[in-house]
Chain A
């Protein structure tokens, strides 16, 4: 066994033992609730059912389109799969005060958190919004999608259904 093979072996083992997307966990980061409390995102919880995390902002048109489209069918999704949607606003101090009025006036039933200095956004590798993650019942990220174009919500629903079937 020469040095080269050994090095490759070493790195292969290293890579294998550091887990990638398959078993990705949520980072240990605090966000804010709408009533000003701190919330550690690792504490998200939905009784072992899937969770969707969607990064959005009040100034982002495609984000609002995505979340408004899902809002129309959210009840049906919940009945069918038990999924919970968590919308994380990256609005900073300039537009943060618009989040609650926008969410409530739009009749959204999502769980809402604020990430005003982009700490969670950075930790989750989100460079632009919208960016959607799907978590399985053990809070592991199993699927993600950048951007939103009309009809993408159906792909998300398919991914949620697959997850529910896997169980």
Chain B
């Protein structure tokens, strides 16, 4: 006992002395809590939770001192919110790491997030909104060999919920910035990169010989000249058949993908044009498991991410098995002080995107079939198409406006995995008006009006179903949405919104989804309470989607950062 007292006193004293000379480092982090109650509402199909309330929470702690950092994340799912995978269950510390860097070498042990190139062959990341966290657990080395030359290599297993998937990943990447490496004054900048990844998973198939080590590699080139920028990446993955027992299900085809992007911008104007072709590029941390938790590469959707709810009602999901996509964005600002531009200038944004299948489907190879789709496929089955025009204008010191008109074609049967003819292909025209008005100093009001006019495109699918729209399932038809928001800077916000399915083919299902919320923000803390009904729907980030069940209840969310 005396020894302990002595030890603690000694430590305290030395610490006290130490802290005056030299800081012991810093601790920072953030905390998030999302709680929701679930009450039954049979009209919208919302189910009550046995637990009454469900709660997700996490706390991040990062300790840093000079070139050293260490941290952990405590996660708590008691039990997980209804839109999360139920495998997130209980409490734990699934994320902890230590890292230091010295003389250009950075070493990380424990958990880390990594991306190779644009992610076509490998990306681990966290997206809390989707419930995705496939952090690696292992070691990683990054080395700055020479100015402009960066190398990295890592080994590890990928997280799935509270455990790790079977596959062991070994990866490496090299990038050379030619201008920096050769100290070139050239106006054209050239960056070259190459990456490699390999997954080991034990072979257990008693009939078929499948590769235990599945590798993928990619090369990339980035050219920058003045306002122009080009990025291209090509990726290849060797055959990776799933563990099936019937010959017809075995696919020994390799996978490949490319993405090409050109952007240009100058003051007041910019555009970005991109195409990509994906063939048989689903890459998982366990060849025999399905679900987004096991995806280990990232193939972004070539469509615009939307913040307005009716624009995101029918979102496009990436088809990593195979798709061909093209997208164009144009940004233009009409100068202020001109007739068209008004006092503050007017911003115009145009987006066009189109995603379709590969001809005859993605590559397939076994003893009986050998299919390789053609390189360019633009006339194949349409998955998604959108044209979107946005006009943003500040009228005067008090009024700001945003208008959007968009037309979307959504192959609901294909994208949601239904039998062709269940829902068919929808074409929606969407109108959005968003007006903000400055009431007085610090006080603002905002109103959003949205309308989605939907029709069935009959030429895409046979229409012999029993409903008026010709499909096997009734049409949801038109939607309307209104949102009112009042904010008092810097602390308060209040919103009321109603989403109304005004055109449902079944008159009794023309339902209102009303939501109320209020929040208080002070510095780094944010509190929000809400009550309302959520429509069953699909929520996507970056092309990865989750199904959100309909729900009815109260919610509380707290987030804090220190």
A94 touches B191 (CB 8 A): no
**A18 and B344 alpha carbons, distance in the complex (Å):** 48
A119 touches B5 (CB 8 A): no
Residue from the list B67, B490, B562 in contact with A20, Cβ < 8 A = B562
* Cβ-based interface call for B180 (8 A): yes
Encoded as 1 (CB less than 8 Å from any B CB) or 0, chain A from 16 to 30 comes to 111111011101100
The distance from the CB of B403 to the nearest CB of chain A, in whole angstroms, is 14
B272 touches A36 (CB 8 A): no
B559 touches A101 (CB 8 A): no
Extra inter-chain contacts (10) besides given A9-B12, A23-B23, A117-B115, CB under 8 Å? A10-B15, A20-B562, A35-B189, A92-B542, A101-B263, A103-B265, A117-B113, A118-B125, A125-B60, A151-B487
* Cβ-based interface call for B340 (8 A): no
Given A14-B24, A18-B24, A147-B521, does the pair A107, B543 have CB atoms closer than 8 Å? no
Interface pick from A43-51, A74-82, A126-134: A126-134
Given A72-B344, A93-B300, does the pair A123, B489 have CB atoms closer than 8 Å? no
* Cβ-based interface call for A138 (8 A): no
Residue from the list B16, B268, B488 in contact with A105, Cβ < 8 A = B268
For the complex of A and B, 9 pairs with smallest distance between CB atoms: A101-B270, A151-B489, A17-B19, A94-B300, A105-B331, A125-B30, A150-B444, A104-B265, A59-B305
B222 touches A36 (CB 8 A): yes
In the complex, how many residue pairs between chain A and chain B have their CB atoms under 8 Å apart?
Answer: 216
The bracket for how many chain B residues form the interface is: 35 or more
B residues near A (Cβ < 8 Å) are 1, 4-5, 8-9, 11-12, 15-16, 18-19, 23-30, 32, 60, 62-64, 66-67, 69, 101, 113-115, 118-119, 123, 125-126, 128, 150, 177, 180, 189, 191, 222, 224, 227, 229, 231, 261, 263-272, 274, 298, 300-301, 304-307, 329, 331-333, 344-345, 347, 436, 438, 441-444, 487-490, 493, 521, 523-526, 542-543, 559, 561-562
**A48 and B465 alpha carbons, distance in the complex (Å):** 71
**A61 and B404 alpha carbons, distance in the complex (Å):** 13
- Which residues does chain B contribute within 8 Å of A165, judged by CB atoms? none
A24 touches B267 (CB 8 A): no
**A4 and B39 alpha carbons, distance in the complex (Å):** 47
A18 touches B333 (CB 8 A): no
- Which residues does chain B contribute within 8 Å of A143, judged by CB atoms? 523
Residue from the list A17, A102, A103, A116 in contact with B23, Cβ < 8 A = A17
**A149 and B444 alpha carbons, distance in the complex (Å):** 8
User: Which of A97, A102, A154 lies at the interface centre, i.e. has the most chain B CB atoms within 10 A of its CB?
Assistant: A97
- Which residues does chain B contribute within 8 Å of A124, judged by CB atoms? 28
Which residue on chain A has the smallest CB distance to residue B266? A104
- Which residues does chain B contribute within 8 Å of A149, judged by CB atoms? 444, 487-490, 493, 521
The distance from the CB of A123 to the nearest CB of chain B, in whole angstroms, is 6
- Which residues does chain A contribute within 8 Å of B150, judged by CB atoms? 38
A104 touches B227 (CB 8 A): yes
Which residue on chain A has the smallest CB distance to residue B99? A28
The distance from the CB of B5 to the nearest CB of chain A, in whole angstroms, is 6
* Cβ-based interface call for A167 (8 A): no
**A23 and B25 alpha carbons, distance in the complex (Å):** 10
Q: Enumerate 14 A-B pairs (CB-CB under 8 Å) in ascending A order.
A: A6-B8, A13-B16, A19-B25, A27-B69, A59-B304, A93-B118, A104-B227, A105-B332, A106-B333, A107-B268, A128-B559, A146-B521, A146-B523, A149-B493
The distance from the CB of B512 to the nearest CB of chain A, in whole angstroms, is 24
The distance from the CB of A13 to the nearest CB of chain B, in whole angstroms, is 5
Which residue on chain B has the smallest CB distance to residue A116? B115
Residue from the list B30, B66, B125, B306 in contact with A126, Cβ < 8 A = B30
B12 touches A20 (CB 8 A): no
A residues near B (Cβ < 8 Å) are 1, 3, 6-7, 9-10, 13-14, 16-21, 23-25, 27-28, 35-38, 58-61, 72, 92-95, 97-98, 100-107, 116-119, 122-128, 131, 143-147, 149-152, 154-155
**A127 and B58 alpha carbons, distance in the complex (Å):** 11
- Which residues does chain B contribute within 8 Å of A94, judged by CB atoms? 300-301, 305, 542-543
**A130 and B28 alpha carbons, distance in the complex (Å):** 19
The distance from the CB of B120 to the nearest CB of chain A, in whole angstroms, is 9
- Which residues does chain B contribute within 8 Å of A150, judged by CB atoms? 436, 438, 442, 444, 487, 489
A125 touches B306 (CB 8 A): no
**A3 and B113 alpha carbons, distance in the complex (Å):** 42
- Which residues does chain B contribute within 8 Å of A147, judged by CB atoms? 521, 526
Given A27-B69, A128-B559, A131-B561, does the pair A151, B442 have CB atoms closer than 8 Å? yes
**A24 and B301 alpha carbons, distance in the complex (Å):** 38
- Which residues does chain B contribute within 8 Å of A59, judged by CB atoms? 304-307
The distance from the CB of A111 to the nearest CB of chain B, in whole angstroms, is 16
**A101 and B301 alpha carbons, distance in the complex (Å):** 19
User: Which of A18, A103, A150 lies at the interface centre, i.e. has the most chain B CB atoms within 10 A of its CB?
Assistant: A150
**A19 and B559 alpha carbons, distance in the complex (Å):** 22
A105 touches B272 (CB 8 A): no
- Which residues does chain A contribute within 8 Å of B304, judged by CB atoms? 59
**A16 and B345 alpha carbons, distance in the complex (Å):** 51
The distance from the CB of A76 to the nearest CB of chain B, in whole angstroms, is 15
The distance from the CB of B485 to the nearest CB of chain A, in whole angstroms, is 9
- Which residues does chain B contribute within 8 Å of A3, judged by CB atoms? 1, 4-5, 8
A123 touches B300 (CB 8 A): no
